[in-house]
Structure 1
Amino acid sequence: MHEYHNQELKRLISECLRERPDSYVIQELFQQFPTSTELMDVTEQELTTINGIGRGKARQIIALLKLAKVLTVPSQDQYAIRTPKDVFDLLEPEVRYQAKEHFICLFLNTKNRVICKEIISIGSLNAAIVHPREVFRAAIKRCSASLICAHNHPSGDSTPSTEDLILTKRLREAGEIIGIEVLDHVIIGGNRFYSLKENGHL
């Protein structure tokens, strides 16, 4: 799966607009939309509020971001999630050295293949601040049939906290109302993982 990070997006947009990466326009763009998730969802109207970006440049940026978004979607022949170990194998390299909790959702189609992977929030050393509306807004936007939540414990201990259990219950209940099933919540700590589904919490 090809992931675009801010540095790569900055380079692509700079080349597209023929601007230097350290120019005012590029710096202002990435200051107003600091994460790749925010940037991917930017509108033409939001872009034109930045001095130096007119409708023409805004449309160029939107077109580039649409292309980047297409390229970040994994092949439908890959990343079928059958077990919590599949989730661990996919995400562990990404969160291995993170000092903060990253709450990530895998959005799946009806065949349990990954449509998209998205970081929903980045928390402190011991708590990820997540609201169900953020999770399901993203799930609906991706036309997901179901989803799997995951986050890392920088401490290396994959045991769920009380907050993890409460959040999982809230997400499950919200999913039942909306009609998008939460299949699992996997906690990654060091080289181990804990599946709340396998341990009877879902």
Structure 2
Amino acid sequence: MDMLLVKEIGETATPDQRLIRQGAERLTNAELLAIILRTGTRALSAVEVATEVLQQVEHLQALRHVTLEELKAVPGVSNVKALQLLAVVELGRRLAQKPHVESYTIRSPADAAAYVMAEMTGLLQEHFVALFLNVKNQIIYQKTVFVGSLNSSIVHPRELVRP
């Protein structure tokens, strides 16, 4: 039996083998997606299908807005695989959110921005979000007051202080 050199193993290893050996941070986006997809087709490997998905959406962050139908239109992506990808994207979005902490204190506008930034990043429209604070400047409630257009959100003060 011939011995394989380490660099030869790296070139022929599947994404899941590379993940075990080298860690997730060393894999490409296509390889990570291929692990989620698990299999390709007779004509395309899982990595090639994942590459097609990434080309369809232009960049990784755009996966956040892709629809089930758009994913199913990619060769090699079945209904089940499309649902798996949508579920993983949603899990990633939830992981990026800060957990609601009862005692999160707002000391400045930067604190308020940091609190809502993860969940608002990548939204397709402007959102006007209100954070309601107690007397200790701790968040007690968060509400999206208005969803605007692509680049503006116009809110009149009377909409904020309705009786």
Question: Normalization by structure 2: what TM-score?
Answer: 0.50
Higher helix share: 2
Question: Normalization by structure 1: what TM-score?
Answer: 0.42
Higher relative contact order (CA 8 A, sep 6+): 1
- Higher Rg: 2
